[in-house]
Amino acid sequence: MRAIVLDKFGGLDSLVYTELPEPEPLEGHVVIEIKAFGLNHAELHMRRGEWAEAARVSGIECVGVVKSCPGGEFPVGAKVAALMGGLGRTINGSYAQYTRARASNVALIDSDLPWADLAAIPETYATAWTCLFRNLEIEEGQTLVIRGATSSFGQAAVKLAVNAGANVIATTRNPERFAMLEALGAARAELEGPHLSKRIAEAKHIDAVLDLVGNSVVLDSLAVLRRGGRVCLAGWLGGLDPIPDFNPLLQMSSGVYLTFFASFVFGTPGFPLSDVPLQKIAEDVAAGRLDARPSRVFAFDEIHEAHRVMEANEAGGKMVVVV
């Protein structure tokens, strides 16, 4: 099979096209003929050697067709999505014509959507849905702040929250993106930056914050909440530096909740992929209730250009590769 391998850590030339044997069937696993896969910043960090783990074949998600499944968890020929479970990190991932994933990290996603549209759903929407409806327990009519909302993850969260009837305030560092966020359904956009809690009228009345900016603003996110409100920390657009001198006694309001989610837990007993309604999300996309179309679609032979666009932050949304 054709595959794109990580030949070394570094620039675009680190990704090399080659031929590899197809993965063999294995009990408890699913061999998938890949039709398309989403691109993620995690793969950028793996290519540069900035990630703790990086498999020879990168790629943490894909959609495709079941080629073999010795345990019978999925029928041969079924359309499925696969994500995480070590894909691209500890086992060969989706930058190839075939991959093998643990059955617990595979989900049926039967749809007539084009493969490129399906490929924009798994990782981004599974993570956004879990943050919103499990960690934050968002309900219709609640007010939600999404910090860092112009990222592909942030855009997906805006769409899902608006679709669920939440009142969304979305932040971005770029005022030119305000109109785009409001077009996605946000009630309004705010300029991202320090001391947001002192700048918005709803401070101390916010039900929840999905914080994708990270440690640099999380204390400020906690400061906007009502009693019983929640912050879910799920991104680090503002960098990975830890919160300096964090002292909850002095820096947190009483009665608020701080939670965290990272998608690498999908497929573990506490976070089964079956909990995420990927099928329903695909149906909402097909019916026009949710716009999850990718911002850019690349051919398999264009992986270098795809990574260049991702590295330059030119994507404007979720990018996918069709195999």
User: How far is residue 154's CA from residue 295's CA, in Å, rounded to a whole number?
Assistant: 14
Q: Domain check: are 304 and 233 in the same one?
A: no
CATH code for position 224: 3.40.50.720
Q: Domain check: are 128 and 115 in the same one?
A: no
Q: Domain check: are 130 and 222 in the same one?
A: yes
Whether residue 147 is contained in a domain is answered as yes
Whether residue 50 is contained in a domain is answered as yes
| CB contact at 8 A, 283 and 111 | yes
User: What is each CA distance from 148 to 107, 154, 173, 178, in whole angstroms?
Assistant: 28, 6, 8, 12
What is the maximum alpha-carbon separation in the chain? 59
Whether residue 280 is contained in a domain is answered as no
User: How far is residue 255's CA from residue 143's CA, in Å, rounded to a whole number?
Assistant: 18
pTM equals: 0.92
List CB contacts of 271: < 8 A, sequence separation 6 or more.
130, 265
Query: Mean pLDDT in runs of 10 for the chain (323 residues)?
Result: 96 96 96 97 91 92 98 97 95 98 96 96 96 97 96 94 97 94 96 93 95 93 96 87 84 90 91 93 93 95 97 90 97
Number of domains observed in the structure of the chain: 2
> Residue 69: what residue type?
C
Q: Domain check: are 61 and 175 in the same one?
A: no
The string of pLDDT tens digits covering residues 53-89 is: 899 999 999 999 999 999 999 999 999 999 999 999 9
**The pLDDT value given to residue 236:** 83
**The pLDDT value given to residue 74:** 97
The string of pLDDT tens digits covering residues 108-142 is: 999 999 999 999 999 999 999 999 999 999 999 99
Q: Domain check: are 202 and 83 in the same one?
A: no
Q: Domain check: are 84 and 15 in the same one?
A: yes
Q: Domain check: are 52 and 86 in the same one?
A: yes
Which structural domain, as residue segments, surrounds residue 66?
Answer: 2-120+285-322
Q: Domain check: are 238 and 141 in the same one?
A: yes
